[in-house]
Structure 1
């Protein structure tokens, strides 16, 4: 209490002396403050009475203080800079040498319990000025920025509707503008048409996750009192899921749920025609209900019955829509199939490239082994003449007639028997 009185006294004194300047900053902003002394002078900065650091002017030596500001603040000359402001950085900054005081107010704007709310739920819009909860602010509401009647830092909205959805603006001292976006959602559904004998999904879902926790829910059809519908339960071990044992008429996913609360009605008949109500309960006693109408018509002649509206068996649909690590199972399957196809393509490209390289290398080897042609292989211009000359030289001379008979040559002309 004594510290508060001292701080209030210092604030009042600095305002009265005209040496106090007030900064309004958002969370994450940076603030700069000047001491107003010569750069060679000693400088001592303090935050709410605690030392930030001391600077010796001549040597430039710095000594950190005990305040948490000292771990992120910086000084350039006589200027103190504090980056990445947090709500705990709100307070009084004091430079001892000049006597200058600065007041920093860190402002934050947010919605409780969260920016995405359910229809008919309550909400709080905060524009908190840390350390100064009594200062009035000006709220501007969607869609046209009209001034809101209340000027408090916290305003309460009862049973919000789509009219409150949009950007809310908080003006602080007409200097600082902060914007918060409020989203209001409800359960969604559509009317359903089906042929006799079909399995049909009854749609019920939220467009996105909401701030409120789902604690329960159910489906109901007054014209089908004997049909057993599952109940929504939220347990610590299994999370949000459908709970039911009778699957003779209604089928449902057994996996963990998030925003989709569809169920499947099996083999619909004319007696199933009517209104179905989906109810989801949330923390704080808020519950939402939505109605969907089912119309059952005779199946056209020659057309066989389909398993469900999407043409897939309930078991397959249940498996493909099951969430694994935050994503649907069919998404994981698609990613895996794409990865396998890419790997196969890369392997095929590699094999083809290696085959082409081997063929090119073989061609080059064959070309290098081939013997070049010589003159004798393709130039035979004088071959015929040489053969003729050789033939003429090899032919023997004709023998004289008198020498042709050896007996006559031996005996002579006078020889007789």
Structure 2
């Protein structure tokens, strides 16, 4: 009987401990609660911060932390987090109908310095950072051929190209994350650079043939420098032509205006319309007017 009770207790502790979820920085992580359904209420916490509280019947509640805006509850119980940040790592607690389930989200970042493709025979360092544990775990790198390595490359070789693995352990489990390394040949110096190196004086105080050395250095400029110089000269020439044409045009307008102002043309006589119609006929004379008879001459008075 004691054995059965102890087995049930251990099984319950294991189920409550949950599991470790591993994800990369910026990716999406999905945390399973540990139950497929609930009858009353489902609550997700990150540490002591509330994320989601979903009742079976009622309005859900949301917390006020940053992770709330980037997380949703999928398929009733699963918590899905998008664009994972370093601050999201840690302990998550899912409570379904009073049953508590704990999970740990580990956010792993792997990178190399310098970034990008590594140059042959250069120095490089591989980094592996694990967030979400109380103490940083000890990590170990494995080369593409499976050999253990510290992650510090004193001289990059062609055999370093490939997939490296960052290995670390937690609570009896072993986890890993991969990093792809590319190696390229160092760039060979161009002929112009080699000629410039040859033309450089061996002593700082040398002044012999300085003019010829300067001319040779100018001839060794890059093609884009010559293109920039040519474009600049063309723009200057076009501006000069534009200014000359504009000045001539302004002078021509001034001269024309002055000529019109000084000598205006005299006004032309007005031209009237002349008609070729025949002249009107003379007005016929009416009958002569009767002349009044002149008065009779006065007779002298008779003397008595």
What TM-score, normalized to structure 2? 0.55
Rounded Cα–Cα distance in structure 1 between residues aligned with 2:193 and 2:200 = 18
Note the C-alpha offset of 1:223: 9.7
1:235-246 equivalent positions in 2, closer than 5 A: none
1:5-404 equivalent positions in 2, closer than 5 A: 17-18=13-14, 19-20=16-17, 21-27=19-25, 28-36=27-35, 38-59=37-58, 61-76=59-74, 77-96=76-95, 97-132=98-133, 134-142=136-144, 145-150=145-150, 155-171=151-167, 175-189=175-189, 201-203=191-193, 220-221=197-198, 225=202, 247-251=214-218, 264=220, 318-320=225-227
Looking at CA atoms only, which structure, 1 or 2, has the larger radius of gyration? Answer: 2
Q: Retained in 1: the 8 A contact 2:160–2:181?
A: no
Change (3 A) 1:117 1:316: closer
Change (3 A) 1:161 1:82: same
Superposed CA deviations along residues 97-154 of structure 1, whole A, max 9, x for unmatched, are 3110000101111112313344554322112111346434452324xx232233xxxx
Choose between structure 1 and 2 for higher RCO, CA contacts under 8 A separated by at least 6 residues. 2
Note the C-alpha offset of 1:65: 0.7
Aligned pair count reads 204
What TM-score, normalized to structure 1? 0.41
Rounded Cα–Cα distance in structure 1 between residues aligned with 2:156 and 2:188 = 17
Q: Can you give the 5+ residue segments of structure 2 that lack an aligned partner in the other structure?
A: 1-9, 206-211, 232-304
Change (3 A) 1:40 1:111: same
Rounded Cα–Cα distance in structure 1 between residues aligned with 2:214 and 2:83 = 57
Rounded Cα–Cα distance in structure 1 between residues aligned with 2:87 and 2:120 = 35
Q: Retained in 1: the 8 A contact 2:44–2:50?
A: yes
Q: Can you give the 5+ residue segments of structure 1 that lack an aligned partner in the other structure?
A: 1-13, 191-200, 205-217, 229-244, 253-263, 265-313, 323-328, 330-417
Number of the residue aligned with 2:273: none
Rounded Cα–Cα distance in structure 1 between residues aligned with 2:73 and 2:80 = 6
Q: Retained in 1: the 8 A contact 2:91–2:132?
A: no
Change (3 A) 1:165 1:72: same
Number of the residue aligned with 1:207: none
